Structure 1
Amino acid sequence: MEGKVNTDKVFQGERLKEAREARGYTIRELTEKIELNNHQTLSKYENGKAIPPAEVLYKIMNTLDFPFNYFFEKENYDDMNNIVFFRSKASTTAKLKKMHEIKIEWVIRIFNYLESIVDFPQSDLPQIEEKEPSFFKPRDFEEIEEIALNMRKRWNLSNGPITDLTHLFEKHGIVVSTIDSNDYYVDACSKWVGNRLFILVGNEKASPSKIKFTLAHELGHYLLHHNITKEEFNTKNIYKRMEEEANHFASAFLLPAEVFSTELVTHTMDYYLLLKRRWQVSIQAMIYRSKELNLINDYQASYLWKQISKRGWRTKEPYDDVLLKERPILLKEAIELINTHNVKTKVELRDEAKLSADDIEAIATLPQGYFSQYTGKDNVIFFKKNYSS
């Protein structure tokens, strides 16, 4: 063993690997950053074949921005082998996907820690029966329409627009987190534990209508693809079909056929703009939905898509700046509740969550610098008992 850290806990090499991958470093890149002689030494640290000396560990902590106790906490890493669904561009790299896989695991860890202190809303998603692995069977779109409609009924929703989908999800026990990953390759990823769904929105700067559709898309994966195997997940044509099914679910859930069909009285772009203000769904999603429901023919759809391109609306549509910007509050309110009622100090919350302050603030949508607003020191100056102003 190389060196020894003065601690009763054992250094966890898996945590070092996770921290490195979360920051997007290769082994060689991190080796250079912390000025190790060779990358094989870092590999030994990650594989548990060596323990970093104290001075090396401090370099790792400072470079990767992780607290000391992060590297000494044993976790159940088997859970990280579960499938994480991605809504992302085809060009998304494996490195970027891995970064998001780790971060959604952090969302789950923070939730589990906070749940040991506060009561969260119970998950009101159907408990999907765990089945023996079987070959993937595509869903027909009529079945998906019915599943979407039943989900609305389960939550006592009308067939009209959903104003704040994030709040609706949190109210029914779905945990949503948003991060600014400074890229436009990953819209979101999701994972579930039992019937508790966790969603990490990877591009919080996306338009409100796009984020709304993305959230509904991830709900679709939970309801439609609960028992998918990793082999099927990694099969290109099956994955493509699952994405199509999740998209269809999102369309059906956000734009119920009966009401949307009656409201689409004309097919001009100006009228779609009017409907966007009402339904808070993108014009492009409504065009897809119109075609799905045979409300427009191929010629009309082609004309509308050409108009979208001609007006430069593929990436940014009108009203994107005025629609409600949904923000999750579940984790944020839990942390603030614990702190304001003096159950835990900010320092205790930060240390016991075992992540950097910046990471916790980002995952829980807390204001930047939230944890630096408190020093952890008790007051030493008080007013005199007999003082009166």
Structure 2
Amino acid sequence: MRIGTPGFIPARLTEAREARRIPSKAALARRLGMSATTTSRWEDETSGQTPDNATLIRLAGELGVRPEYFLRPPFHSDRPTFLRSLASTLVRDLDFQKAQMHWLQEISFVIGHYVDLPEVDIPDVLDGASYTQLRDEDIEEIALRLRRHWQLGEGPCGDVVAIMERIGIVVAAIPMNTTKLDGLCSWSPIDGRPHVLLATDKMSFPRRQMDAAHELAHAVLHQAVPAEEFQVNLRSIEQQAFRLGSALLMPSTTYPKDVRHASLAMLVSLKERWRVSVKAQIKRLSDLEIIPEEFSRQLYKLYSAKGWSKGEPLDQHWPIQPPRALRDSLNLIVENNVRSKADLLATEFTISSTDVEELCGLPPGWFDRDAAEVVSLKRHPADGPGVHYDDAEVIAFPDRRPHPWSGRSS
């Protein structure tokens, strides 16, 4: 009789391996010093073979998870995950991104037991139509409707990540360790809430604005896309997301009025106001037929000649604020003594503290720090009877600045 671990879920081993960018079962076997056949059988749901308890503990240590991780069902959904699958992108990088998304959804699910995240506020803009029926003019109108619904006005957009969190989308931003991954959008199989994972590699605020708006567009337009249609219609789906994201950031009713003449210098000036990259602006002007395609190609060539593909002017002009919803929720749970940090790691989260900190935007080592205690200052006898701590009166310093019409100097 084979001795294994009852309840072991092979898909969880696959997920953990992909989250650690271990490219194959054989590579995992080499790290464990075991037979590749053995580890392959652990990931095969039909084999019936599972690691014994001692090996399970060793496996968990190698993959940086708790042993209980392998006993909980994975957060896999039948709905598609929207990511920009490039031919040049390594499969293991895409698998890593999807595995991190599953972990983000698991963290969100745990936090949802203790904190009410904002309700999802994504209106039905398709009105019963299919995304395949959308024309460019439909997408432009949808962008204006969304701005009105979310009360964004028609001027430059604020921080898109903050807007997404306000309307109930869970957002995280982590390094992907490759410049070929931007972001992805997926829906939780538990509550149907959209989750967005953004890459922080070589990130600037204007670039993040476009990446976030792109994923927001997927959440608006493509939540009903069957998984089997995703790869077939990937090109048109991505074009729609980019068009809507651009229209959200640069409304057709206002942005064109700021373009007095299309030049790189003018677009840099507009970048300061609209906080959108020069490259995205060139594309937007072409989409709106404000400039002909030939002229847009000339602008792209000049853009490349200036070396802006590696970094544009003003890219670092604005600080990037990390997503806050999950971070603030965990702080709220701990500060109100709902659960301690140790409890959360021991019973709720099965991935490592480092993974939770990264996906929630917490500072490194947050789980290792004790929660801050509020203390009161002790009264000192030398303060004397003339010092009053209760019902204190605040006395303002006299204004010694010269009066604007007195003619006197200080």
The question of a shared fold, defined as TM-score above 0.5 by the shorter chain, is answered with yes
Provide the TM-score with structure 1 as the length reference: 0.88
Distance 1:166 1:129 in 2: 23
Other-structure match for 1:53: 52
| 261, 265, 269: which one aligns with 1:270 | 265
Q: What is the CA distance between 1:43 and its match in structure 2? A: 2.2
The verdict on how the C-alpha distance between 1:317 and 1:372 changes in structure 2, with shifts beyond 3 A counting, is same
TM-score, structure 2 as length reference? 0.84
| TM-fit CA distance, 1:261 | 1.1
The structural deviation recorded for 1:350 is 2.1
Residues in 2 aligned to 1:227 and 1:158: alpha-carbon distance in whole angstroms: 28
Show structure 2 runs of 5+ residues with no match.
372-380, 383-410
Equivalent runs, 1:314-329 vs 2, <5 Å:
314-329=309-324
C-alpha spacing 1:261/1:311, structure 2 compared with 1 (3 Å): same
Which residue does 2:358 correspond to in 1?
A: 362
Q: Is the 8 A contact 1:125 1:195 kept in 2?
A: no
Question: 2:150 corresponds to which residue?
Answer: 155
Q: How many residues are matched? A: 368
Residue 378 of structure 1 aligns with which residue? none
CA–CA distance in 1 between the matches of 2:130 and 2:169?
28
Which amino acid in 2 is paired with 1:209? P
* Equivalent residue runs for 1:1-389 within 5 Å: 2-4=2-4, 10-25=7-22, 26-36=24-34, 38-47=35-44, 49-75=48-74, 79-127=76-124, 137-193=132-188, 196-235=193-232, 238-351=233-346, 352-374=348-370
For 1:2 and 1:29, how far apart are their aligned partners in 2? 25
Q: 4+ runs of 1 displaced by more than 6 Å?
A: 128-131
Structure whose alpha-carbon radius of gyration is higher: 2
Gap runs ≥5 in structure 1: 376-387
Deviations 1:147-166 (A, max 9, x none): 11111111011101113111
Conserved? CA contact 1:164–1:324, under 8 Å: no
The CA distance in 2 between the partners of 1:128 and 1:196, in whole Å, is 17
RMSD over aligned CA atoms reads 2.4
Shift, 1:87, TM fit: 2.9
CA deviations 1:74-94 (Å, max 9, x no partner) are: 34x5x4332100035431122
Q: Secondary structure at the match of 2:309?
A: coil
Q: Is the 8 A contact 2:277 2:312 kept in 1?
A: yes
Q: 2-side partners of 1:292 and 1:190: how far apart?
A: 24
Per-residue deviation at 1:114?
0.6
Cα distance, 1:266 vs. partner? 1.8
Alpha-carbon contact 1:209-1:281 (below 8 Å) kept: yes
**1:344-372 Cα shifts (integer Å, max 9, x gaps):** 11111223121111110111011111112
Q: Are the counterparts in 2 of residues 216 and 250 from structure 1 also a CA contact under 8 Å?
A: yes
2:386 match: none
- State the distance in 1 between where 2:298 and 2:231 align: 36
Determine the C-alpha separation between the residues in 1 that align with 2:230 and 2:360: 29
CA displacement 1:207-264 (0-9 Å, x = unmatched): 22111111111121222223222232122xx211111111111111100011111111
